[in-house]
């Protein structure tokens, strides 16, 4: 098991949950970020180094002695920066981390990808899937620079594995929405959740809890699967209060259904994460309860209240 783990972007909204997860499981965690963690953040459980991930020399230095790296540092959405800047920063950060990991012979790498790697989420028109549920074999239909940076980040990981076949393992985590418990509670207490339209279908009405996402990152470092793999990291349920098939029939009529999608189950498959990582998401906004999984949990246990309506 890796001991020293470097988390890039550890001061961010996913990073602090990842740091807490890794520290709780006995890792020596380093947070390398351009921004210091806020007071009271779980990110303070890590050693902090202020670096610019687009500077290769700084990344190379920061990864010295690491057993694994969890790369989260990036511009996290396409609606705050011009596309050329977003693409440059995200792509250079990916390359710098992967190249530095190769130089240091780091064998376990976890990267932040996104549902946008297949082109869903931020395109200019409704994303029409080829089939449902969408899995990691689904072809990409990327358009915007943010989605390109996520898809090409996965292609870059493939290339670096080819450079060190049998020597490096890389997981690209296709996160979606990354809700904290407060966000889940606000959604629970919000109004009508039966509308399926607008931009909602672009994300397949899906989301993921940050504790579940952090646990997936830890398992990607600990489990043996070899080479490079992408994983959809999202909750098993949707954000809707109507059956998922009703939403699909409304917004995606005629799309091939390859496996049954029952109840409120998400149209994004997490079967690969269960098979290769023993990861099953356990957080749900429906119960009025979101809880932190137990340390080293691989399979879901009964819910334990972290907050209750």
- Give residues with Cβ within 8 angstroms of 40, minimum separation 6: none
pLDDT of residue 29: 98
pTM of the model: 0.92
**168 pLDDT more than 60:** yes
HSE, CB side, 13 Å, CA atoms: give it for residue 306: 16
pLDDT of residue 2: 63
pLDDT of residue 123: 74
pLDDT of residue 1: 57
**Domain assignment present for 301:** no
Average pLDDT for 137-156: 96
**Domain assignment present for 308:** no
Rounded to whole angstroms, the Cα distance separating 137 from 96 reads 27
For residue 10, the domain's CATH number is: 3.40.50.720
**229 pLDDT more than 70:** yes
pLDDT of residue 120: 87
Rounded to whole angstroms, the Cα distance separating 3 from 69 reads 11
**Domain assignment present for 298:** no
Rounded to whole angstroms, the Cα distance separating 143 from 83 reads 11
**Domain assignment present for 177:** yes
Per the CB < 8 A criterion, the answer to whether 6 and 63 are in contact is: yes
Given CA atoms 103, 3, 272, 143 in this order, what sign does their dihedral have?
Answer: negative
Q: What is the DSSP string of 111-155?
A: EEEEGGGGT-SS-SS----SEESB-TTSPP---SHHHHHHHHHHH
**Domain assignment present for 302:** no
φ/ψ of residue 220, rounded to 5: -70, -25
Per the CB < 8 A criterion, the answer to whether 122 and 259 are in contact is: no
Percent of the chain with pLDDT over 70: 92
pLDDT of residue 303: 26
Residue located via tokens 């200019």: 124
pLDDT of residue 79: 84
What is the residue-averaged pLDDT of the chain?
91
Number of domains in the chain: 1
* SS3 assignment, position 306: coil
Residue located via tokens 């990691």: 136
For the ranges 27-36, 164-173, 214-223, 286-295, which has the lowest average pLDDT?
286-295
State the residue range of the domain holding 50: 4-277
**187 pLDDT more than 80:** yes
């Amino acid at each position: 098991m890796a001991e020293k783990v470097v988390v890039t972007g550890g001061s961010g909204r996913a990073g602090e949950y990842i740091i807490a997860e890794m520290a709780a499981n006995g890792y020596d965690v380093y947070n390398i970020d351009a921004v210091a963690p806020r007071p009271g953040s779980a990110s303070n459980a890590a050693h902090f180094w202020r670096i610019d991930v687009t500077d290769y020399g700084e990344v190379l230095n920061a990864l010295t002695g690491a057993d694994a790296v969890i790369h989260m540092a990036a511009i996290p959405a396409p609606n705050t920066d011009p596309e050329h800047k977003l693409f440059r920063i995200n792509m250079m950060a990916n390359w710098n981390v992967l190249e530095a990991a190769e130089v240091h012979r780091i064998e376990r790498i976890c990267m932040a990808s996104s549902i946008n790697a297949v082109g869903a989420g931020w395109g200019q028109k409704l994303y029409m899937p080829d089939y449902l549920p969408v899995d990691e074999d689904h072809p990409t239909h990327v358009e915007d620079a943010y989605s390109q940076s996520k898809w090409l980040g996965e292609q870059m990981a493939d290339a670096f594995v080819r450079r060190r076949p049998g020597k490096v393992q890389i997981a690209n985590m296709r996160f979606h929405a990354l809700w904290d418990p407060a966000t889940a509670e606000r959604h629970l207490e919000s109004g009508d959740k039966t509308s399926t339209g607008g931009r909602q279908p672009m994300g397949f009405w899906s989301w993921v809890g940050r504790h579940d996402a952090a646990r997936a990152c830890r398992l990607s470092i600990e489990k043996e699967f070899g080479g490079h793999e992408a994983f959809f990291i999202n909750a098993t349920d949707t954000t809707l209060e109507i059956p998922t098939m009703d939403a699909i029939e409304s917004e995606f009529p005629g799309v091939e259904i390859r496996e049954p999608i029952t109840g409120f189950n998400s149209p994004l498959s997490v079967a690969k994460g269960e098979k290769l990582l023993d990861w099953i998401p356990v957080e749900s906004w429906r119960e009025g309860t979101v809880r932190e999984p137990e340390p080293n949990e691989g399979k879901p246990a009964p819910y334990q209240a972290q907050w209750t309506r």
